[in-house]
């Protein structure tokens, strides 16, 4: 896995986040996007993805509430 070979490259973490989004595993995607920001705090695409997922999860949770 690319992260094992080059764990310090933020783009590898971001890419794994994208993979988990494609699989609709949003909690796992958040972990990878957050690790992207630990490596590169100003990585705007990761910030945007985190906001999008958080919004999606809030809407999903709202639909389940009575």
CA-CA distance, 64 to 66, in Å (whole number)? Answer: 7
Residue 44 per-residue DSSP state: H
Q: So what's the pLDDT on residue 6?
A: 74
Q: So what's the pLDDT on residue 66?
A: 58
Complete DSSP assignment for 5-53? H-TT-HHHHHHHHHHHHHTT-HHHHHHHHHHHHHH-TT-HHHHHHHHHH
pLDDT band at 31 (very low <50, low <70, confident <90, very high): very high
Looking at every residue in the chain, the average pLDDT score rounds to 91
| The model's pTM | 0.85
Give me the mean pLDDT over the 54-64 stretch.
Answer: 87
Question: Contact, 15 vs 43, CB < 8 A?
Answer: no
Q: In this model, does residue 64 exceed pLDDT 70?
A: no
Give me the mean pLDDT over the 20-33 stretch.
Answer: 97
Residue 59 per-residue DSSP state: H
């Amino acid at each position: 896995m690319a992260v094992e070979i080059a764990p310090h490259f933020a783009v590898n973490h971001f890419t794994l986040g994208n993979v988990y989004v494609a699989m609709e595993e949003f909690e796992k995607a958040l972990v990878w996007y957050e690790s992207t920001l630990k490596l590169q705090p100003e990585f705007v695409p990761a910030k945007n993805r985190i906001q999008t997922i958080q919004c999606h999860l809030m809407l999903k949770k709202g639909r389940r509430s009575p």
